[in-house]
Structure 1
Amino acid sequence: MGNLLPEGLFMKMLSAAVIISLLNVQGIESVKANQKIFVNDKAINAVDPTHDGFRVILSDEFIQTHLSPTLLPTLYLTAVPLESKDRVTVTSTIYADSPLSGKQIHVSGLAPHSWHYLCVEFENFNRQNETTGTDCEFHRTLDFVAKKIESTVEGLELIDITSQSLAFAARSTGDFERRLTFTLRNGKTAIPSSEIFYLDTSADLDLKFSNLKPDKFYGSLCLLEEPLVEAFTALGRRIGGLKKEKCHFGKLKTKDYDWSIFESEASPYSTSTRTNIPLLIILGLVAQLL
């Protein structure tokens, strides 16, 4: 019994051990709870371009979920020029004590008639964690006639239809690296391979889908645009994988084989050949009737 600690000292040591254990448990729980969570929620509802910038309308769900004043949110709106070699970004920062005006945020000081990455980032806090996220698109500022452009491809037109092919022409404008993919979609037969263009400047485009079946519906011509410029947001996140798609026409159909073959076999150097083939057909029908 001579080795036992005095009762008072023992109780103090026991109390200290209990307190240290509780502090350790709380510390572990705190480390587990205070996490940084990244979300891919859609923040951009619409974009209104101006001559020197953009007005971004935020989605109602995004505002309600992530921008409550109690969460102490911070917003970053970053514009990265795609057609500039130095890629100097412009960022507008909105803090928790800066209320939104009509659910809009804006950035200015950009060059007119130029394409940009446009990214909305946010950070907020609560007792358990920190939440952050990014939503990016690409848009063009207005030109001097206030014309809104939503695609790098203009003047897309169907220029030729045969029994075995569909041919189109268009022009793509923009001095930045991009990939354009044209695909026939929603047809009622086998779909041919896509036509893909890699561009870094403005260019005229000629595309042709060959080896098609006669008298078949091939649906719509869909265009997928993908900028290939590498850039970073205000919070240092890499911008990539952005896409914009739109379908055109809607009821594309090849010609019937029997009539198209006469047109294709007619010599392009002989006017009389093109004129006489339909005439011979008519004369043959008349002869059968007689």
Structure 2
Amino acid sequence: MQAGLPPNEAVPALPPGLAVAASLPDVIPVRKRRGRVWSYVRRNPTIAVGGVLLLIVFMMALLAPVLGTVDPTALAPARRTRVPSPQYWFGTDLLGRDIYSRVIYAARVSLLVGFSVALLASVAGLAVGVVSGMVRWADGIIMRVIDGLMSIPPILLAIALMALTRGSIGNVILAITIAEIPRVARLVRGVVLSLREQPYIEAAVTTGTRMPMIIWRHILPNTLAPMTVQATYICASAMIAEAILSFIGAGVPPSTPSWGNIMAEGRALWQVKFYIVLFPSIFLSLTVLAVNLVGDGLRDALDPRMAKDV
């Protein structure tokens, strides 16, 4: 039996004077395949951490009725300004309302405003940016309007727009969206201007490809990555803007529980009943942090210059 061959295996006849070389052990061990989820988490830890935090807040808002909450608008003057206890986890406010229930239900308002503004501002800004970047004669007109809007701080523009309407969640979303559109439009315009000079775009124009087809096949796919990252920052900014508007009384109605409204109602007793402001501010900070972590992770994952070797 030849060395290196398993027993009971037929060995072909070899010419005289030739021998079979012994089998060598594997020098490079076989690499074990890990799960795709774990590999993605290892490459993008910030997306994983931010995604988990955001998922927790989303599930908290979705399952608010079954998380030991009561009616967040129920008044009970006899139990007002109770300190946190096993019965009232976060205490009660000046009108006796359960702060824990109000904070949990307020997550719905912030998530709705944040994601709605991010979606609407991204779609509108994408349309404006593409038109400005591809239509040369319209670029100057659109950019002057965008520059005028960007000269006004977004929160002041939102306050001015809210002053023209009554307080509601829909009006808050509309006001913040109008304030955020110029930033998306300017970002998309810059990307489109760089893509417009690429050789493959010039080749498509030379071959007679129509402009709508060029935009659909070549321009839009290349703007999705930076616009997605920008959308996460707009979502976080919209949540903060909604809290600011509600805090100063220009946002959602006081009857609607929101983190800004809760903090506004507790600012008068901040020095003696700090917990009224503390808990909604913690939840707002954690939610904004989660969205920003997802945005930072997407920026690192979608930018080929920052790609990490696996």
TM-score by length of 2: 0.20
Which of 1 and 2 has greater Rg?
1
**Which one has a larger percent strand, Structure 1 or Structure 2?**
1
**Which one has a larger percent helix, Structure 1 or Structure 2?**
2
TM-score by length of 1: 0.21
